[in-house]
């Protein structure tokens, strides 16, 4: 059995990495093990299916799937596992990610894909959502998540606006 990775991060293309690396960064910051792969639901369906099964077998707890355009990747991942699968719509060239958002979020009843915002915020928030889920049964993770929120609030409290000249 391969080394346990708690989160599987998958994207439809290496061109999605610039956005999806935000999910990987959040996992890294929280000390959550992950494996990131570029695997496509339409270009490499067999490899995608094999990877999902391998991640499940090695103890993965959730998937984050990002794709653009006719973005069916997250739905396909969700269809092959009962692990929670979060969708991240990629910004796209012509429709600025609206196509990706609708394709990801509008799953028919029965196979849920909780879908985050288009782009970097969505990728980071997908990882934070997974961390909140892991924190339910992990007190140390809960403490880290609370500390993250406190630091964020503190930054807002201390923020100042420029003086008018
Ligand atoms: C989707 O098509 C990928 O998720 C990516 O967002 C988009 C474009 O892929 P490339 O043509 O850049 O490989 O499958």
**pLDDT range class, residue 3, cuts 50, 70, 90:** confident
**For residue 103, what are its two tokens?**
């394709």
C-alpha to C-alpha distance for 85 and 100, rounded to whole angstroms: 16
What string of DSSP letters covers 91-120? P-TTTTTHHHHHHHH-PPTTS---B--SSH
Which ligand 1 atom sits nearest the alpha carbon of residue 92? 6
Measured by CA distance, the residue closest to atom 6 of ligand 1 is: 68
Residues whose beta carbon lies within 6 Å of some atom of ligand 1: 11-13, 15-16, 40, 67-69, 90
Measured by CA distance, the residue closest to atom 2 of ligand 1 is: 68
Chain position carrying tokens 């067999």:
46
C-alpha to C-alpha distance for 20 and 28, rounded to whole angstroms: 13
- Tell me: the pLDDT tens digits for 73-114? 999 999 999 999 999 999 999 999 999 999 999 999 999 999
Among 14, 21, 68, the mutation site with the greatest number of ligand 1 atoms within 8 A of its Cβ is: 68
Which ligand 1 atom sits nearest the alpha carbon of residue 43? 14
CA of 141 to the centre of ligand 1 (A): 33
Residue 162 burial class via C-beta count within 10 angstroms: exposed 0-12, middle 13-18, buried 19 and up: exposed
C-alpha to C-alpha distance for 33 and 85, rounded to whole angstroms: 16
Q: Is 43 helix (H, G, I), strand (E, B) or coil?
A: coil
- Tell me: the pLDDT tens digits for 129-163? 999 999 999 999 999 999 999 999 999 999 999 99
What is the value of pTM for the model shown? 0.96
Its sign, for the CA torsion 62, 153, 90, 117, is positive
Whether pLDDT at 35 is above 60 = yes
8 A C-beta contact, residue 87 and residue 111 = no
CA of 118 to the centre of ligand 1 (A): 14
CA of 32 to the centre of ligand 1 (A): 27
pLDDT at residue number 2: 58
Measured by CA distance, the residue closest to atom 12 of ligand 1 is: 15
């Amino acid at each position: 059995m391969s080394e346990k990775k708690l989160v599987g991060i998958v994207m439809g293309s290496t061109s999605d990495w610039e956005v999806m690396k935000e999910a990987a960064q959040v996992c890294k910051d929280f000390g959550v093990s992950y494996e990131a792969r570029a695997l496509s639901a339409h270009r490499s369906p067999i490899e995608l299916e094999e990877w999902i099964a391998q991640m499940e077998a090695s103890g993965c707890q959730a998937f984050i799937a990002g794709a653009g355009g006719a973005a069916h990747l997250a739905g396909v991942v969700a269809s092959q596992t009962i692990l929670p699968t979060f969708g991240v719509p990629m910004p796209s060239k012509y429709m600025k990610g609206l196509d990706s958002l609708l394709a990801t979020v509008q799953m028919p009843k029965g196979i849920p894909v909780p879908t985050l915002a288009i782009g970097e915020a969505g990728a980071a928030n997908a990882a934070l959502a997974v961390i909140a889920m892991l924190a339910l049964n992990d007190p140390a993770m809960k403490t880290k998540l609370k500390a993250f929120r406190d630091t964020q609030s503190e930054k807002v409290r201390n923020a100042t606006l420029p003086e008018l000249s």
